[in-house]
């Protein structure tokens, strides 16, 4: 079932103009201090838990959940006790 969800997610990303589609694995203990990206991000959590802090709010995303944010948004990242795997798209060139 998740494989079909990933395929549909990839198709949505392509239609929305995301130039890069990749899978990233984050091991237990991964943390990233507040930072930004020069690209828009759209994410599907495929395993584990990914924790995102932005706009002063922290939220955990579980397997099957999605989130996105625009280029330039300040955020911090972490993972749950089992790490996380993400399917994600990067869309370049939309930040003024």
How does pLDDT run across 6-35, given as a tens digit for each residue?
999 999 999 999 999 999 999 999 999 999
HSE-up (13 A, CA, CB side) for residue 25? 2
Question: Which DSSP string do the residues of 69-95 spell out, in sequence order?
Answer: E-TT--EEEEEEEEEEEEEEEEEES--
At residue 17, the 3 state secondary structure works out as coil
The total number of structural domains in the chain stands at 1
Say what the pTM is: 0.91
52: domain CATH number is: 2.60.120.10
CA 15 to chain centre: 17
Whole-number Å distance between alpha carbons of 95 and 12: 20
pLDDT by residue (tens digit) across 39-87? 999 999 999 999 999 999 999 999 999 999 999 999 999 999 999 999 9
């Amino acid at each position: 079932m998740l494989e079909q969800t990933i395929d549909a997610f990839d198709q949505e990303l392509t239609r929305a103009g995301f130039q890069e589609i990749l899978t990233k694995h984050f091991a237990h203990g991964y943390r990233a201090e507040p930072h930004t990206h020069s690209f828009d991000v759209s994410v599907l959590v495929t395993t584990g838990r990914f924790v995102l802090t932005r706009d002063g709010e922290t939220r955990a995303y579980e397997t099957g959940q999605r989130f996105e944010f625009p280029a330039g948004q300040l955020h911090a990242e972490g993972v749950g006790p089992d790490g996380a795997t993400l399917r994600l798209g990067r869309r370049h060139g939309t930040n003024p």
